[in-house]
Amino acid sequence: MNDISITISINNSLNTTITPYTDIYETITNLKNQGVNIISDDPDNCIISRIIYQNIFPFYNENNCRGDTLNTYNSTFGKDNNYRLMNILNKENISVKYRENLMEKIENFKHIYHSIGNFTILERWHKQGEVFCINSARGIGSLHDSWPLTLLCIQDYLSGYSKIKNNPLQKSFDNNEATIKFFKRYLNIKNGFELFCNEYYFSPQLYENKIELTYLHENKNGNYDVNLDLFDGLCFLKPLPNNIMEIEQYIEKASIKIIERGKVMIKEYLKRKSN
């Protein structure tokens, strides 16, 4: 799949070009400095992302949907001065040159994680009593915003809680009205998880390499399994990379998946706009 681009019309006199590599945070910052209403300072919920969502997600509705980031930089590396990353680096004996090279890769990942391929939509933020919607719950609980683990939780819920013992998001699925409404279409039907992925995430068939470039692959029964390949040992007991080798794996794998998904999203945008 060749690199492609789309032109987003912000208003009657202002257009912006988006590619799979475009740092949308930088783009909306520049637009905001020009006095443009970007709607939200969050790249995954700003005017550019919303326009793309409207054209590629068939059931997107701003009243009950909100953008969300799949691979979250702050959860992985630490929000304040990369505190989590620094703790890992300080425990390992590495050369100054190696450390500089790694920090350069991480700085580059900051731009990649703000590109369209790292965004999707979930239900709007909604807290019901002490129960958060999964858009929030996946970030504040034991999942630490891990998208593969979030997919596993969604798959478990849509299959009647048959795959995971003690689903970390079960309270949200069972008790949060926004979450229940968002997933109602996919519940209690055959292949509900596959339908959700095809509509809101994109099926593995749209990728050139089904296993390496996406978080999903088809099993022998034609259903989807979730790939836990962002780094060695990814599981519910280890949702984040914990050493330098795992950080290197995470950056490489997540970057590939984000860019390739961005290509699929832009291709879908162009296809649906032409229909």
pLDDT for res 48: 96
CA dihedral of 19, 22, 26, 28, whole degrees rounded to 10: 30
Contact 242, 229 (CB under 8 A): no
Of residues 56 and 2, the one with the higher pLDDT is: 56
Confidence label for 184 from pLDDT (cuts 50, 70 and 90)? very high
CA 222 vs. chain centroid, Å, equals 24
Tokens at 199, concatenated: 């509509």
Confidence label for 1 from pLDDT (cuts 50, 70 and 90)? very low
Residue 210 three-state SS: coil
- Selection from 122, 104, 251, 227 nearest residue 180 by Cα: 122
Phi, psi of 29 (to 5 degrees): -65, -45
User: What DSSP character marks residue 118?
Assistant: G
Tokens at 139, concatenated: 């970030």
**% of the chain beyond a pLDDT of 70:** 98
Confidence label for 207 from pLDDT (cuts 50, 70 and 90)? confident
Domain ranges of the chain: 6-265
Per-residue pLDDT at 209 exceeds 90 = no
Distance, in Å, from the CA atom of 163 to the CA atom of 29, rounded to the nearest integer, reads: 42
Count how many Cα atoms sit within 13 Å of the Cα of residue 150 in the half-sphere of its side chain. 25
User: What DSSP character marks residue 201?
Assistant: I
pLDDT for res 211: 67
List residues bridging with 121 in a β-sheet: 67
DSSP result, 33-54: HTT---S-SSGGGSHHHHHHHH
